[in-house]
């Protein structure tokens, strides 16, 4: 790993990370996660993209495919603060944001931080909490701060929410509103493992817990430096134009009654930078935009009535919208 130091003062040394460091360090993080999650390279890579792009991840799939395990493995592979919040119908907003409690000794109110005060927050089964509790995440996910009793508390970087939910077992759940889903940079679906991966899982998980043996391979300070390095990835005007056209294609599609928001445009740009950096490139290509389009856009749109009657999925609709946009010349 090639590191440079911008400051000669030993008491205030700033480490500068290169894109090569991004590939090296995140490769170690990937390997650590894959020691727990077998055969899910695409899902792991997308989680790393969201982490480097300072976004939030929604993991949505059927029970028992490793959604929470992926979130926990990501948190444990980095030496930073990690908190898991189990969302339930009786969970209160103050359990998320924190609450001010009167201290009898000091005769003053003390703020007790809630579950959101961590570098990586694992929100398990987020749709089981009431809309009031779900809304407690909105400010922190967008502005990286929490306001309680008129006081604003900044959240330490890096900050990432990894939320899980089941698309079935909808009894007693509260579907995430569009404003909440739009806060998530990407949505992934784990899917069932291949027979080979499932056989390996029996060997690795049958007698021991590989998650308990997982040790951090990097820390929060290094991760902050890698995030800064990702921001230097070049995006040409032609690629930006292509990206905007892809997002606009969702707004003009007759199969969608709600297209992607301007926030989606910005988050897709950030995600493509991280995607390119993980691939070892210092520039974004149109293929990067197309590769991430479904993961970043599909959970933000709503299908039209006709599309639902035709049993068209938003994944297919987004993929078709992307293919309808002319690729810029590769020069």
Pairwise CA distance, residues 175 & 265, whole Å:
24
- pLDDT at position 2: 47
Last residue of a domain, one of 221, 251, 281: 221
What range defines the domain where residue 313 resides? Answer: 233-324
- pLDDT at position 184: 95
Last residue of a domain, one of 166, 187, 221: 221
CB atoms within 10 A of CB 14: 10
Last residue of a domain, one of 221, 251, 279: 221
CATH number for the domain including 252? 1.10.8.80
- pLDDT at position 115: 92
**Burial bucket for residue 20 (CB in 10 Å: 0-12, 13-18, 19+):** middle
Same domain, 254 and 191: no
Same domain, 213 and 309: no
- pLDDT at position 300: 93
- pLDDT at position 7: 47
Pairwise CA distance, residues 91 & 207, whole Å:
34
Same domain, 35 and 106: yes
Same domain, 189 and 146: yes
Same domain, 28 and 176: yes
Query: Which among 32, 23, 81, 63 is positioned nearest to 281, based on CA atoms?
Result: 23
Same domain, 188 and 275: no
Q: Residues in the chain with pLDDT < 50?
A: 1-2, 4-8, 10
- pLDDT at position 10: 45
Question: Structurally, how many domains does the chain consist of?
Answer: 2
- pLDDT at position 93: 92
Same domain, 97 and 49: yes
CATH number for the domain including 147? 3.40.50.300
Looking only at the bridges linking them, the beta strands covering 256-258 and 302-303 are: antiparallel
Same domain, 97 and 189: yes
pTM over 0.75: yes
Same domain, 73 and 213: yes
- 2 domain residue, yes or no: no
Same domain, 113 and 140: yes
**Whether the Cβ atoms of residue 298 and residue 187 lie closer than 8 Å to each other:** yes
Same domain, 182 and 301: no
């Amino acid at each position: 790993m090639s590191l440079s130091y911008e400051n000669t003062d030993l008491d205030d040394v700033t480490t500068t990370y290169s894109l090569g460091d991004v590939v090296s360090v995140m490769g170690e993080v990937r390997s650590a996660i894959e020691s727990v999650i077998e055969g899910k390279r695409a899902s792991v890579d997308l989680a790393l993209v969201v982490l480097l792009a300072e976004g939030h991840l929604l993991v949505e799939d059927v029970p028992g495919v490793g959604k929470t395990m992926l979130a926990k493995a990501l948190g444990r592979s980095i030496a930073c603060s990690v908190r898991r919040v189990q969302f339930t119908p009786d969970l209160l907003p103050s359990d998320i944001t924190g609450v001010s409690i009167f201290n009898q000794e000091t005769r003053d109110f003390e703020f007790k931080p809630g579950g959101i005060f961590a570098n990586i927050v694992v929100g398990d089964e987020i749709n089981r909490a009431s809309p009031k509790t779900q809304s407690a995440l909105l400010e922190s996910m967008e502005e990286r701060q929490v306001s309680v009793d008129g006081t604003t508390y900044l959240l330490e970087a890096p900050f990432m929410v990894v939320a899980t939910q089941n698309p079935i077992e909808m009894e007693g759940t509260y579907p995430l509103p569009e404003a909440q889903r739009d806060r998530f940079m990407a949505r992934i679906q784990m899917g069932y493992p291949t027979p080979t991966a499932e056989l390996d899982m029996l060997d690795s998980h049958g007698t021991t817990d590989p998650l308990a043996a997982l040790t951090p391979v990097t820390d929060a300070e290094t991760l902050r430096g890698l995030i800064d390095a990702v921001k230097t990835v070049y995006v040409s005007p032609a690629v930006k134009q292509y990206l905007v056209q892809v997002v606009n294609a969702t707004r003009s599609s007759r199969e969608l009654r709600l297209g992607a928001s301007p926030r989606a445009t910005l988050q897709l740009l950030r995600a493509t930078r991280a995607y390119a950096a993980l691939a070892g490139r210092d520039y974004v290509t149109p293929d990067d935009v197309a590769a991430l389009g479904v993961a970043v856009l599909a959970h933000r749109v709503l299908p039209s009535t006709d599309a639902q009657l035709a049993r068209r999925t938003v994944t297919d609709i987004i993929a078709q919208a992307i293919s309808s946009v002319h690729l810029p010349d590769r020069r």
